[in-house]
């Protein structure tokens, strides 16, 4: 065996030597035409925002809320951001209210649509749970929404953005952020107005979210879409798609999907020498993408119907203290959703029916958005969409799209 190994090593060494010689010149940096745009000011923490701790005199017993979504599964970082936001809200509530200790139950759907119905059924059967923060992803939300509805268990999704989710007649579905009917056109506006793109390639994965968002973006871009590529979740090799994009010579590429595929895609696009501007949505906007995409990450922009939390110094400080890291995408939204449920419990809504009424009639400023819902469970006041960029290996706010 030693022989085989040594021969192999020598073989590799010989080929490598013959090829790498002279190939180490640094690559010219692709022009980053939007990098010089002035950053929008970060919104400050709204002073009148609702607070999970309430007045500290709440009384309740044997009541729980739940988080359901990916914790250790696909694209886990997106779910953990939300869960941490929820944990922070529950901790603040329970610390302030000794007579009302709300239990937080965690359910891991692994982000897989096939797993969600079973887990939601478990939650529906657990009478203690009066409200749920989740589900984070659109695919699983679609798969399990009718089970929430039948069980009368209210759910506030802090991140599922597929527009059709609110059109199923589910009485228990509430969305704590803008949907892709807002993000799609905003992304198109950013691509054409801010980046000046005349030709755009839209790449979509095969998730409910990726397909829905891509269709909104394409609708808004109209004939500026020069190529329309499809990839699969869990795909890691993209040479055929990259070649198609290279041939289309677009000014910008919009990747409609999640970070797990976006990172290798971005790197392979960059390595193939395609000079274009990559933009990803909220599903890509995570530190895991920046760590995964290597050289390509620095030149990526993101769109997200989420509010930059770095101006929320109090929230960010408490979050850092509890989890030893910065709040991520949708941490604020998760915190807000949990706060709606916790204040509901404090107001005496300790069964599902009352909780549902509480959410329907809710009207208060959250940290992220003004929270109050229309009859379909969409936010009554359309929230803004922000763009983000990568600076020194961190995702920072770019501009607000109005």
Partner 1 sequence: MISSAQYLAQDSEPWINTDTFINLFWANTIGGLEYGSIYALVALGYTLVYGVLKLLNFAHSEVFIYGAYATWFTFFLLGFRPGPTPELPVGELIAYLVLAVIVAMLVSGTTALVLERVAYRPLRNRGAPRLAFLITAIGASLILQQILFLWRGSNPEQAIRLLRPETLFNVGSASVQNLTVIIVVASVLMWIVADTFVNRTRFGRGIRAVAQDPDTAMLMGVNKERIIMLTFVVGGLLAGAAAVFYMMKIPQGAQYNGGFLLGLKAFAAAVLGGIGNLRGALLGGLLLGIIENHGQALFGGEWRDVVAFVVLVLVLMFRPTGILGESLGKARV
- Name residues contacting partner 1, limited to 27-86 (CB under 8 A): 27, 72-74, 76-77
Closer CB to partner 1, residue 16 or residue 62? Answer: 16
Geometric angle at alpha carbon 359, from 43 and 58, rounded to 5°:
90
Of the CA atoms within 13 Å of residue 278, those in its CB half-sphere come to 34
Does position 249 interact with partner 1 (CB under 8 A)? The reply is no
| Strands 200-204 vs 155-157: parallel, antiparallel or unpaired | unpaired
Of the ranges 30-38, 123-131, 225-233, 344-352, which one interacts with partner 1 (CB under 8 A)? Answer: 225-233
Closer CB to partner 1, residue 231 or residue 340? Answer: 231
- Contact indicator for 377, 156 with CB cutoff of 8 Å: no
Of the ranges 58-66, 213-221, 340-348, 357-365, which one interacts with partner 1 (CB under 8 A)? Answer: 213-221
Q: How far is the CB of 326 from partner 1 (least distance, A)?
A: 17
Of the ranges 13-21, 127-135, 145-153, 326-334, which one interacts with partner 1 (CB under 8 A)? Answer: 13-21
- Name residues contacting partner 1, limited to 136-195 (CB under 8 A): 163-164, 167
Of the ranges 21-29, 129-137, 310-318, 360-368, which one interacts with partner 1 (CB under 8 A)? Answer: 21-29
Biggest alpha carbon distance in the chain?
A: 76
For residue 358, give the H/E element and its range. helix 352-360
- Name residues contacting partner 1, limited to 270-329 (CB under 8 A): 271-273, 288, 291-295, 298
Closer CB to partner 1, residue 5 or residue 321? Answer: 5
Burial class of residue 246 in the structure, from the number of CB atoms within 10 Å of its CB (0-12 exposed, 13-18 middle, 19+ buried):
middle
Query: Could you count the other beta carbons within 10 Å of the beta carbon of residue 166?
Result: 22
Q: Buried (b) or exposed (e) across 75-101, using 16+ Cβ within 10 A?
A: bbbbbbbbbbbbbbbbebbbebbeebb
First to last CA, the chain: 65
Of the ranges 23-31, 35-43, 45-53, 328-336, which one interacts with partner 1 (CB under 8 A)? Answer: 23-31
Q: Buried (b) or exposed (e) across 48-61, using 16+ Cβ within 10 A?
A: ebbbbbbeeebebe
Does position 260 interact with partner 1 (CB under 8 A)? The reply is yes
Query: Could you count the other beta carbons within 10 Å of the beta carbon of residue 103?
Result: 13
Closer CB to partner 1, residue 7 or residue 125? Answer: 7
Q: How far is the CB of 391 from partner 1 (least distance, A)?
A: 14
Q: How far is the CB of 247 from partner 1 (least distance, A)?
A: 6
CA-nearest of 197, 219, 392 to 277 is: 197
| Residues in contact with partner 1 by the rule CB under 8 A | 1, 4-5, 7-9, 11-13, 15-17, 19-21, 23-27, 72-74, 76-77, 163-164, 167, 206, 215-216, 218-219, 228-232, 234-237, 239-241, 243-244, 246-247, 260, 263-264, 267-268, 271-273, 288, 291-295, 298, 393
């Amino acid at each position: 065996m030693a022989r085989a190994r040594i021969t192999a090593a020598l073989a590799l060494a010989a080929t490598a030597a013959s090829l790498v010689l002279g190939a180490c010149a640094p690559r010219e940096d692709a022009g980053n035409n939007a990098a010089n745009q002035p950053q929008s000011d970060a919104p400050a923490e709204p002073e009148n925002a609702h607070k999970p701790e309430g007045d500290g005199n709440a009384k309740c017993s044997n009541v729980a809320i739940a988080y359901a979504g990916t914790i250790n599964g696909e694209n886990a970082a997106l779910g953990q951001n939300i869960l941490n936001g929820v944990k922070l809200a529950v901790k603040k509530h329970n610390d302030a209210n000794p007579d009302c200790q709300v239990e937080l139950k965690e359910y891991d759907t692994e982000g897989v649509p096939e797993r969600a119905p079973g887990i939601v059924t478990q939650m529906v059967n657990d009478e203690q749970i009066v409200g749920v923060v989740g589900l984070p992803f659109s695919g699983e939300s679609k798969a399990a929404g009718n089970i929430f509805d039948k069980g009368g268990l209210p759910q506030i999704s802090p991140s599922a953005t597929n527009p059709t989710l609110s059109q199923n007649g589910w009485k228990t579905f509430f969305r704590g952020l803008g949907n892709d009917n807002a993000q799609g056109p905003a992304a198109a506006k950013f691509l054409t107005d801010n980046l000046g793109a005349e030709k755009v390639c839209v790449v979509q994965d095969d998730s409910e979210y990726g397909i829905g968002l891509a269709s909104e973006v394409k609708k808004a871009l109209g004939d500026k879409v020069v190529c329309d590529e499809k990839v699969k979740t869990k795909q890691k090799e993209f040479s055929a798609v990259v070649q198609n994009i290279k041939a289309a010579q677009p000014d910008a590429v919009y990747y409609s999907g999640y970070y797990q595929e976006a990172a290798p895609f971005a790197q392979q696009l960059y390595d193939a020498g395609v000079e274009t501007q990559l933009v990803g949505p909220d599903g890509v906007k995570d530190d895991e993408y920046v760590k995964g995409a290597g050289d390509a990450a620095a030149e990526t922009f993101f769109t997200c119907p989420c509010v930059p939390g770095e101006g929320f110094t109090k929230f960010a400080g408490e979050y850092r203290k509890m989890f030893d890291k910065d709040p991520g995408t949708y941490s604020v939204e998760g915190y807000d959703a949990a706060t709606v449920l916790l204040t509901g419990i404090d107001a005496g809504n300790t069964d599902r029916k009352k909780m549902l009424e509480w959410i329907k009639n809710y009207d208060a400023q959250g940290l992220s958005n003004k929270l109050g819902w229309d009859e379909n469970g969409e936010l009554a006041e359309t929230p803004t969409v922000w763009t983000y960029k990568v600076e020194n290996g961190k995702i920072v706010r770019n501009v607000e799209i109005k």
